[in-house]
Amino acid sequence: MSNSRVVANIKEADLPNTTAWKDFLSLIKIGIVNSNLITTFTGMWLAFYFTNTHFLQALDVMVLTLLGSSLIIAGSCSINNYIDRDIDHLMERTKSRPTVTGKITGSKVLMLGLIMVACGTIMLFMTTVTAGIIGIIGIISYVGLYSMWTKRKYVSNTIVGSISGAVPPLIGWAAVDANLDIIAWVLFLMMFIWQPPHFYALAMKRVEEYRAANVPMLPVVKGFATTKNHIVAWVVALLPLPFFLLDLGIFFFILATAFNIGWLVLGIAGYKMKDDIKWSKLMFVYSLNYLTILFVAMVIVTVV
């Protein structure tokens, strides 16, 4: 069904009562922008810390990096909405997007996305060439490799999409220090490994919606039992990473290890729980807290 026909079938009374600003925030997926801002800032902050650079000496870099990364993420999400406007009406969490309701036309969405991506990329190149290149890699992996290619064709779509979600801390670091330190790559790995268990848990919650939209998420194609195995395996892969972050101090090492073990224990508990959806919700909430707390903690331990 074409997007115009989808919009035509939506009754005016069914349209969400939203403002233009709320529609814009929905279009750019503000939740994703904000969460990626945290990881971008952490990568940049740690680069300042380990290169003995005071952030007040590089306020221009901070502004360009945070604004540039926000724009490329927001622009990429807008383009993703443009691409997915024919299936978003089939899912509860996406059916009210302005690209589905027709409150913003597809051409405007695409143009807005391209403008934001272009402006954001220019800003990142104004910091370092490395940051700009990594930003482009993130755009291509999300828009091209994930949204346009693998999302609707392959069960590995989540893993492919994890590439783009893992580059923000690399962008942040590269904007300060183009010679990416091992810690920067560990942050990339942490983000890359974190995403499959996070999104698999979400996919379990929304499995029927993904099935209706014909998106081959792991729970849709392989079922819950296999998905549980994959989630636990990815969480296990996080266990060694704190050993590569010992320069952040013993407190952070203990905190990160405790969070990893806690996530693993909760994951293993899923084999005994009878309610798979309840377990997936617990895993999803844990993953959100895991990411936020650990990345904020990285900043805190370098300040105190």
Q: Give me the tens of pLDDT residue by residue for the chain, a chain 304 residues long.
A: 455 444 444 444 455 677 889 999 999 999 999 999 999 999 999 999 999 998 889 999 999 999 999 999 999 999 999 999 999 888 888 888 899 988 899 999 999 999 999 999 999 999 999 999 999 999 999 999 999 999 999 999 999 999 999 999 999 999 999 999 999 999 999 999 999 999 999 999 999 999 999 999 999 999 999 999 999 999 999 999 999 999 999 999 999 999 999 999 999 999 999 999 999 999 999 999 999 999 999 999 999 8
CATH number listed for the domain at residues 16-179? 1.10.357.140
pTM: 0.92
| CB of 42 closer than 8 Å to CB of 172 | yes
What pLDDT score was predicted for residue 94?
84
pLDDT of residue 14: 54
* Residues constituting the chain: 304
Name the one residue in this structure whose structure tokens are 């996070």. Answer: 198
Task: Give Cα separations from 165 to 98, 133, 150, 173, 268 (angstroms).
Answer: 24, 15, 15, 15, 26
Res 89: pLDDT:
87
Phi/psi at 39 (5° precision): -75, -35
